[in-house]
């Protein structure tokens, strides 16, 4: 049995008695923590997927210790420019052990809100589409009016330049 859980903004695939390193949690060492954002549970081939989470499902874990991760060095350089920048940090982590996965929610409760979401956007999409087409039509009409006027002025200028270039006949 395993589950996919969101812990401190990241998603993890967890099983019972598994040890994880997650971003720093505020709980003290030795405390028990429950996570409600369970996205998926696989129970011996029976998969329960939430939309987006499974209601009533929880994962319990125990905080083992707070620690710092390995040092990460960030080095930036632009060649031939004399630019070098070295920076580093150590991430604050919490080590946890998964104690249990409980599945109380059902897929039927999650399926009903998904059906409502599909109906609502369908009516909203039709109205804005009509407004966009009218805006495009007026823009096309405006371009048609402007385009011939520009061509005519350039044609007049070209004719005037040709007359100026022709040598005048002297008598």
Question: How far, in Å, CA of 101 to CA of 76, rounded?
Answer: 44
Question: How far, in Å, CA of 59 to CA of 41, rounded?
Answer: 10
pLDDT digits (tens, 9 = 90+) for 13-43: 999 999 999 999 999 999 999 999 999 999 9
In this prediction the pTM is 0.55
Q: Residue 53 burial (CB < 10 Å; 0-12/13-18/19+)?
A: middle
Among the ranges 53-57, 117-121, 124-128, which has the highest mean pLDDT value? 53-57
pLDDT digits (tens, 9 = 90+) for 68-122: 999 999 999 999 999 999 999 999 999 999 999 998 854 444 444 444 444 545 5
The SS3 assignment for 155 reads helix
Q: Residue 94 burial (CB < 10 Å; 0-12/13-18/19+)?
A: buried
Identify the residue whose tokens are 């720093």: 24
Cα angle 15-42-106, degrees, rounded to a multiple of 5: 120
């Amino acid at each position: 049995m395993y589950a996919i859980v969101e812990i401190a903004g990241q998603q993890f695939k967890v099983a019972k008695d598994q040890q994880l390193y997650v971003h720093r949690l505020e709980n003290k060492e030795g405390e028990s923590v429950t996570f409600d954002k369970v996205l998926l549970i696989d129970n011996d081939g029976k998969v329960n997927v939430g939309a987006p989470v499974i209601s009533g499902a929880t994962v319990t874990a125990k905080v083992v210790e707070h620690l710092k991760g390995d040092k990460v060095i960030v080095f930036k350089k632009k060649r031939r420019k004399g630019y070098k920048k070295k920076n580093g940090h150590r991430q604050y982590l919490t080590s946890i052990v998964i104690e249990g996965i409980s599945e109380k929610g059902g897929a039927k409760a999650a399926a009903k809100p998904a059906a409502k979401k599909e109906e609502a956007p369908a009516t909203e999409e039709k109205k804005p589409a009509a407004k966009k087409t009218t805006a495009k039509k007026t823009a096309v009409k405006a371009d048609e009016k402007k385009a011939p006027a520009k061509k005519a002025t350039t044609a007049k200028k070209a004719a005037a330049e040709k007359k100026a270039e022709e040598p005048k006949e002297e008598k």
